[in-house]
Amino acid sequence: MVQEEFEKRGNLKNKNINKSVFANKVICGDCGSVYTTKTWHSTSKYKRIIFQCSNKYKNKVRCSTPHFYEVELKEITLNAINDLIKDKDSIIENCNLIIKQSSTKR
């Protein structure tokens, strides 16, 4: 699995695309394809990088899922994580304890 991950990352690096943590992790709810980045107005000062379904315009029926800016994905992800870990204070406390213990062992 580790080897597979290295190869995957190596391939991404070769293509020099999708450096965002969200690249290939967001799945389109309509067709199941991954979201990839797309650059809008690449030659002007209004250049924006958006995420959208990689097959949005390739499918017969166009996907109705929206595009996102990275800042929106960050906010959505953060909210979802915060919802999942309601008890995050004790998790952070435990993490700090582990960090403290592992640093005193050295």
Q: Is 28 one of the binding residues for Zn ion (CB under 5 A)? A: yes
Among 12, 20, 24, 31, binds Zn ion (CB under 5 A): 31
Whichever of 64 and 94 has its CB closer to Zn ion, that residue is 64
Token code pair at residue 67: 């595009």
Q: Is 23 one of the binding residues for Zn ion (CB under 5 A)? A: no
CA distance 106 to 100: 11
Q: Please check whether residue 38 is in contact with residue 52, taking contact to mean a CB–CB distance below 8 angstroms.
A: yes
CA distance 86 to 63: 33
Binding flags for Zn ion, 32-71, as an x/- string (CB under 5 A): -x-------------------x---------x--------
Site residues, Zn ion (CB under 5 A): 28, 30-31, 33, 53, 63
